[in-house]
C-alpha cells in the first residue's frame, strides 16, 4: 500500500508569515485578510512586546508621582509610543498629558485607549495605575499593528495619557479642552480584586470647608476669640453623626487640612476636605446639601464664618451596553470570567465617569489575583508583582479585539447602535458640572 502523505501546513504557515510581515514592514499580503487575522496580528504584537511592556509598568510603579507631576511616567510612555511609530503630542493640553495617534482620520472611526499613571500620596501605586498605563499602551500597539496589516484603511487609534485621576480630575480638564472630539469609543481597564466587565462607579464631589474665626491669646484672653478649630471639630462630629441616616451606597470621608498655627493662639482659620460619593448626581446633590448644613450649623454654634468650596465633581460611570457586550465576547474567548455576574458596586469613583458622559465608554476591571481592597499597601505589591503581567496583557488583548471589530467596515452598524444608546442615556441625565 502506498504511503499516505500527511497534509502539509506550509500554505497556512506561509500565509501567516506574510500576515505578520505585513504588520511589520507593510509587505502586501497574497490573500485577503479577515477580521480574525487582524486580531491575531494584534495579539501577536502584544505578546512579542511583553518584555518592554513590563519594563514600562515597572518604571512607573517604582517611580510613583502624584497628580499632575507624572513627569517620569510621561517621558517613559511617550518615548515608547514614539518608538512604536505613533504620532506623539507631548504635554497635550496639560503638562503631563499626551496624545499618541496612528491611522487615518478619513478611513473610519477613531478608537481611544486611555492610560492613567499617577500615584497616591504616601503609598504609591496602590491603585495600580502603572498597570492601567501598561494595558492602554499594549492595547494601542496591538490595534496599530492590525491597522498596519489592513493597509491603514480602517480608521484610527488614539492612546490618550490622562494625568491627575487621583483627586485632580485630569480627564475633565481634557474634555473641556475638546480632547475627546471625534472619538467614537473610549476604553480603559482597571486592575481590581475581581473581573468586573461592567463596574458600577459612583458620582463624587470633593468639598473644601473653610472656617474663619477670630484669633486671640489662648491663655490671656480666650474670650476675645472665635475658635475656627472648634467649628471644624463640630462640623466633623455632625457629619459623623449624620452617617447613621445615609443611604447604603453613600459615602462621606474627610480630613483636617488646617487646624491652627500654635496651641497658645485661638485658631483664626481651620479647614476640612471631604469626599462625597453617591449612586448618581441627584443623590449626590442631596448628600452635599446635608454636609453643607452641618458646616453652617457648626459655624453658627461657634460664631464663626464658613465657606464651602467645590474642589472637584465627577459623574458616575456610564458603561455603554453595546460596547460592553462586544468586549465581553472577546473577554470570554480569552478566558476572562466575571465575578458573581456582570456588575459589582465597587463604591469607587473616577474621573473616567466624566469621560463616559462625553463619549461612549467602557472601563472593565480585571483581577490581578489579589483579594485585598484597592488602595492598600497589599494591592501596591500586587500591582508591581510579576503575577499581574499575564492578566494585564490578556485584558489589553480583549480591548484591542473589541476595537478591531469596531474598526472593520462591518462595525459601522454597531457604531450607530453605540451612538444611539449613548445619546438616549445621556439625554435622561442632568447636565454634568464641568467646573470653572
> What are the extents of the domains in the chain?
13-201+317-427, 206-314
pLDDT of 10:
36
The CATH topology of domain 206-314 is Alpha-Beta Plaits (3.30.70)
pTM of this structure: 0.87
CATH placement of domain 13-201+317-427: 3.40.630.10
* Beta carbons within 8 Å of 106's beta carbon, 6+ residues apart: none
pLDDT at 347: 72
Check: CB of residue 212 under 8 Å from CB of residue 269: yes
Contact 111, 158 (CB under 8 A): yes
**What does residue 276 show for φ and ψ, rounded to 5 degrees?**
-120, 135
Distance in angstroms (rounded) separating the CA atoms of residues 152 and 395: 24
Query: Of 34, 54, 143, whose CA–CA distance to 400 is shortest?
Result: 143
Distance CA 53, CA 47 (A): 10
Pairing of the two strands 156-161 and 98-103? antiparallel
Task: Please give the average pLDDT of every successive group of 10 residues along the chain, which has 436 residues.
Answer: 38 42 49 90 99 99 98 99 99 99 90 98 95 99 97 92 94 97 98 92 95 96 96 98 93 97 97 96 95 98 98 92 98 89 68 96 90 75 95 99 96 97 92 60
Asked if 67 contacts 170 with a C-beta cutoff of 8 angstroms, the reply is: yes
Which triple of cell numbers denotes residue 54? Answer: 513590563
pLDDT score at 82? 99
The pLDDT, as a whole number, for residue 435 is 56
pLDDT for res 146: 97
The cell 470621608 sits on which residue?
Answer: 253
Amino acid at each position: 500500500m502506498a504511503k499516505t502523505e500527511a497534509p502539509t501546513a506550509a500554505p497556512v504557515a506561509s500565509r501567516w508569515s506574510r500576515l505578520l510581515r505585513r504588520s511589520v514592514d507593510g509587505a502586501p499580503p497574497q490573500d485577503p485578510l479577515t477580521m480574525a487575522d487582524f486580531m491575531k496580528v494584534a495579539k501577536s504584537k502584544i505578546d512579542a512586546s511583553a518584555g518592554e511592556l513590563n519594563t514600562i509598568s515597572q518604571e512607573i510603579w517604582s517611580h510613583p508621582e502624584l497628580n499632575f507631576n507624572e513627569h517620569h511616567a510621561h517621558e517613559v510612555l511617550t518615548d515608547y509610543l514614539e518608538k512604536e511609530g505613533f504620532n506623539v503630542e507631548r504635554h497635550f493640553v496639560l503638562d503631563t498629558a499626551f496624545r499618541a495617534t496612528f491611522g487615518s482620520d478619513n478611513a473610519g472611526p477613531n478608537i481611544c485607549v486611555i492610560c492613567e499613571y499617577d500615584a497616591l500620596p504616601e503609598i504609591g501605586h496602590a491603585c495600580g495605575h502603572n498597570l492601567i498605563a501598561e494595558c492602554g499602551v499594549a492595547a494601542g500597539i496591538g490595534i496599530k499593528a492590525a491597522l498596519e496589516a489592513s493597509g491603514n484603511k480602517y480608521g484610527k487609534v488614539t492612546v490618550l495619557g490622562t494625568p491627575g485621576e487621583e483627586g485632580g480630575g485630569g480627564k475633565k480638564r481634557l474634555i473641556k479642552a475638546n480632547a475627546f472630539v471625534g472619538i467614537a469609543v473610549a476604553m480603559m481597564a482597571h486592575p481590581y480584586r475581581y473581573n468586573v466587565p461592567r463596574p458600577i462607579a459612583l458620582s463624587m464631589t470633593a468639598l473644601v470647608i473653610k472656617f474663619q474665626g477670630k484669633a486671640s491669646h489662648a491663655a490671656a484672653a480666650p474670650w476675645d476669640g472665635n475658635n475656627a478649630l472648634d467649628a471644624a471639630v463640630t462640623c466633623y462630629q455632625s457629619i459623623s453623626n449624620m452617617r447613621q441616616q445615609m443611604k447604603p451606597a453613600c459615602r462621606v470621608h474627610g480630613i483636617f487640612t488646617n487646624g491652627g498655627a500654635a496651641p497658645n493662639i485661638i485658631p483664626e482659620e481651620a479647614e476640612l476636605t471631604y469626599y462625597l460619593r453617591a449612586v448618581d448626581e441627584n443623590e449626590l446633590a442631596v448628600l452635599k446639601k446635608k454636609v453643607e448644613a452641618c458646616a453652617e450649623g457648626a459655624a453658627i454654634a461657634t460664631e464663626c464664618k464658613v465657606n464651602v468650596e467645590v474642589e472637584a465633581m465627577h459623574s458616575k460611570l456610564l458603561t455603554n451596553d453595546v460596547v460592553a457586550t462586544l468586549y465581553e465576547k472577546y473577554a470570554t474567548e480569552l478566558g476572562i470570567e466575571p465575578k458573581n455576574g456582570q456588575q459589582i458596586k465597587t463604591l469607587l469613583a473616577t474621573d473616567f465617569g466624566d469621560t463616559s458622559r462625553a463619549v461612549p465608554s467602557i472601563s472593565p476591571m480585571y483581577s490581578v489575583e489579589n483579594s485585598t481592597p484597592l488602595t492598600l499597601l497589599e494591592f501596591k505589591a500586587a500591582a508591581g508583582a510579576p503575577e499581574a503581567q499575564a492578566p494585564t496583557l490578556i485584558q489589553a488583548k480583549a480591548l484591542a479585539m473589541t476595537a478591531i471589530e469596531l474598526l472593520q467596515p462591518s462595525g459601522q452598524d454597531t457604531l450607530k447602535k453605540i451612538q444611539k444608546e449613548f445619546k438616549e442615556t445621556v439625554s435622561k441625565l442632568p447636565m454634568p458640572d464641568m467646573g470653572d
